[in-house]
Structure 1
Amino acid sequence: MEHQEYSVGLDIGTTKIVAIVGRRNSRGKIEVLGLGKAKSLGVHKGIVNNISQTISSIKTAVEEAQKSAGVPIHKVTVGIAGKHIRSLQHSDYIMRENPDKFICDEDIEALKEQVKKLVMLPGEEIIHVLPQEYKVDSEGEIQEPIGMHGKRLEANFHVVVGQMGSIRNIARCVREAGLEMEALTLEPLASSEAVLTKEEKEAGVAIVDIGGGTTDIAIFKDNIIRHTCVIPYGGGIITDDIKEGCSIIEKHAEQLKVKFGSAVPEMEKDSTFVTIPGLHGRQDKEISLKTLAQVINARVEEILEMVNTELKAYGAFEQKKKLIAGIVLTGGGSNLKHIRQLANYTTGFDSRLGYANEYISNDKNQLLKGPEYATAIGLLMESLKIRDKKTSVNEEEEVISEQPAVEKVNSEIEASIQNEEPTIVETAEAKRRTKLTIGQKIMESVKKFFEEVE
């Protein structure tokens, strides 16, 4: 099943878990084969807090996706969010042994590996090492160093860090649901893959993904990721406010928010009321839409103020770092009426709603248009990227015919490594190994095996 031609994105959210199966068609667009979703019961503010419930929700979503796609699902690319996520800037360099040879993928991987040795706070782990711009010898501001010559290779990195415990919990849920985790991706990065255009990333843009439990932010400028963060509030807390403010049960509060909610009270008439059925023979309740909008507005404004704080932290109000493309709102929370106008007013940036179906070829009935699918589609796109890279590496390998004996030894070593407790390794490491020559491969494997045994 290694060469399966489809990929799967799995979005483990606070309100729902979505599995989406797709492949790339001949024109490079994405064809969605199947979709499955389940109510998420074991996740709070983006963090797993009930293992068994999360496993059963994942199973339900994946089974539904398998049924609708008609293909078995083994590997998934999973998203991670939660308030424990933080990002930092870091510069690092390597001295190349052979400056006569041009810079290739291996050098960049070696540089990334160097960054992964960074000492983190106790209980933290690096999730992503994202190069921003490179410097070769003393020449700076290089976007793509591959093919250049030089002794010293340096880069600025955007490093995303998360809590080891939370990462392990997600990995365990995926494993116990009978799946293999292909990669772990920061959710705002996945969403931005699905809803942002290259022009926006170039001009400067912030994606604000308002989910059920968290609001995820990623900022791009000059096509480079500049800032990421997760705010621990989302649509769920708005529902809680309506529940408390209007003294109604959660189910009714959620329905009110979705059907009649608005982020701007001034746009609602005083005279419009909605009747909520009373509990167990109690009297019905009448709620004015203006009051409802006031409750929603207070909380949405607070979330947008936090977004503003993050924009300031990046420096979005400085002339050089200005976000010309403004803000793109996505995630289920962006379905709220008039939220775009409130975002424009609160942040001072022009905003639009981000729909995730732009890269999808077979979305005739606009099923995937909902911004709530942005993260899942982004994870699917990420998974397809990983598969494309692996395919190109495999093709290169086939050109160099290998001796079966060496292959056998190699696979035995690989197997003995894989028997270790599975930990999350970015697939880049795996890609680097596949590209090495046979002799180096065995040496690498043996070295890695002993390191892990220690």
Structure 2
Amino acid sequence: MEQGNYSVGLDIGTTKIVAIIGKENEYGKIEILGIGRSKSLGVHRGVVNNITQTIKSIQQAVELAEGNSGLKISSVVVGIAGQHIRSLQHSDYITRAKSEEVINEDDVEKLCNQVYKLVMLPGEEIIHVLPQEFKVDGQAEIKQPMGMYGGRLEANFHVVVGQVSSIRNVGRCIKSAGLDLGNITLEPLASANAVLSQEEKEAGVALIDIGGGTTDLAIFKDGIIRHTAVIPFGGNVITEDIKEGCSIIEKQAELLKIKFGSAWPGENKDNEIVSIPGLRGREPKEITLKNLSKIIHARVVEIVEQVYVEIKNYGHDEQKKKLIAGIVLTGGGSQLKHLKQLVEYITGMDTRIGYPNEHLAGDSDEEIASPLYATAVGLLMNAVQNKAKVREARQEAVDKELDREVFSGEDSTQTKTAIKKERKSIFDKWSEKLKDFLDNAE
């Protein structure tokens, strides 16, 4: 299969690195062609803190995915998270020189590019500029201004900002692993694409992605992203607490959490005991499941309460901003028993577990439809969409040139030359900016 037919998402997580290859089938669903997963060494709370180990882990995941699919990976779309991520609201406008012409994509792009020039704190860079609502000549609440007449185009933006050094380190790891960086996407946005339905985004929903090192939050209302946050706690702190509380090693603590862990202490009876083999020549340890779930419960409550503070910061208590669809939990940490009930109890909001299977082709492996792979599937979807946008922009340019040839009687050599100078899409320009930025960083 030629390179143009498939895309790759790469999820660099705190506990695992996942490379996932896929393509869009004729029904608009994502067909998974191969997947590779490796243990993540060198990433702490969503941020790269050991370049060499991260490169090794990336190469391992990529090789497994290539072996699985028989395809060669050259370019990837990567997710970014970590406690350095913050978001802000910003309004901006442009005055159009030709108000008698309709607003087109170039006007919206010009407005977005203006926001990228915002002055940030030292060491910070804008990752995403997400338009929320537009105003045309004072007329508010316009979702899509293209095709309208107007002299003044303004918009409210959700701007996601991150540390330059962290973005640079991710780019460095990708480059050193022998890959091209196609795009960088905020991980909660990728997870949201994979597990949320359009109806939920319209009604108002909070996506909570509980990973190993971080818990990511994305809030949608009226189909628009309203708030994002990254909380620097995840499943690993629960494992750490079990390790300390039960005086056992990390590997055993992780297994205990997965097999017997529960977020609701009332579930376990006092006489339910699990025996852990002792270290070399030592007696085995006996741990009551009630104690285990008490340790887990205390930490999970802390994580959920922090997320709930962010939901309140967005303004969930106001009638107009109410999240009717409640909460969707995803990520590896969402598989903890009775977590759904605990979140409903703390927040009083409807809750469900989000699986990324809605956008996958029917014959996809069951394992990939696990919440564990929500971010990776979302990144793959992003890569597929970007590819489609580039194709559309190219086709548009070709059509325009052919029309010109028909109407002006230009000869075919001129047309061919014009076709070669295809109009670049927003994505292409953004990728070039990013590549220049990474090249200059070295």
> What is the TM-score when the length of structure 2 is the normalising length?
0.92
- Say which SS state the counterpart of residue 320 (structure 1) adopts: helix
Corresponding residue of 2:122? 122
Corresponding residue of 1:430? 428
Corresponding residue of 1:56? 56
Q: Kindly state the Cα deviation for residue 353 of structure 1 after the two structures are TM-superposed.
A: 0.2
Q: Is residue 142 from structure 1 mapped to residue 152 from structure 2 by the alignment?
A: no
Summarize the Cα distance change of 1:287–1:427 in structure 2 as closer, same or farther, 3 Å threshold. farther
Q: Structure 1 vs Structure 2: percent identity of aligned residues?
A: 60
Q: Kindly state the Cα deviation for residue 68 of structure 1 after the two structures are TM-superposed.
A: 1.1
Contact 1:109 1:432 in 2 (8 A): no
Contact 2:393 2:425 in 1 (8 A): no
Deviations 1:159-193 (A, max 9, x none): 00000000000000001111111110000000000
Q: How does 1:29-44 map to 2 (within 5 A)?
A: 29-44=29-44
- Give, in whole Å, the separation in 2 of the partners of 1:334 and 1:115: 35
- Give, in whole Å, the separation in 1 of the partners of 2:40 and 2:363: 25
- Say which SS state the counterpart of residue 4 (structure 1) adopts: helix
- Say which SS state the counterpart of residue 94 (structure 2) adopts: strand
> What is the TM-score when the length of structure 1 is the normalising length?
0.90
Q: Kindly state the Cα deviation for residue 428 of structure 1 after the two structures are TM-superposed.
A: 2.1
Corresponding residue of 1:421? none
Corresponding residue of 2:109? 109
- Give, in whole Å, the separation in 2 of the partners of 1:56 and 1:288: 39
Q: How does 1:5-404 map to 2 (within 5 A)?
A: 5-399=5-399, 400=401
Aligned residues: 422
Residue identity opposite 2:103 in structure 1: I
Summarize the Cα distance change of 1:160–1:56 in structure 2 as closer, same or farther, 3 Å threshold. same
Deviations 1:41-67 (A, max 9, x none): 010000000001000100110111111
Residue identity opposite 1:306 in structure 2: Q
Deviations 1:265-318 (A, max 9, x none): 001111110000000110000000000000000000000010011011101122
Contact 1:78 1:185 in 2 (8 A): yes
Residue identity opposite 1:33 in structure 2: L
CA RMSD of aligned residues (A): 2.1
5+ residue gaps, structure 2: 403-413
Summarize the Cα distance change of 1:3–1:145 in structure 2 as closer, same or farther, 3 Å threshold. farther
- Give, in whole Å, the separation in 2 of the partners of 1:234 and 1:340: 16
Residue identity opposite 2:191 in structure 1: S
Q: Kindly state the Cα deviation for residue 335 of structure 1 after the two structures are TM-superposed.
A: 0.5
Summarize the Cα distance change of 1:182–1:365 in structure 2 as closer, same or farther, 3 Å threshold. closer
- Say which SS state the counterpart of residue 374 (structure 1) adopts: helix
- Give, in whole Å, the separation in 2 of the partners of 1:289 and 1:14: 27
Deviations 1:420-447 (A, max 9, x none): xxxxxx972635999xxxxxxxxxxxxx
- Give, in whole Å, the separation in 1 of the partners of 2:236 and 2:363: 28
Contact 2:390 2:428 in 1 (8 A): no
Corresponding residue of 2:406? none
- Give, in whole Å, the separation in 1 of the partners of 2:228 and 2:391: 30
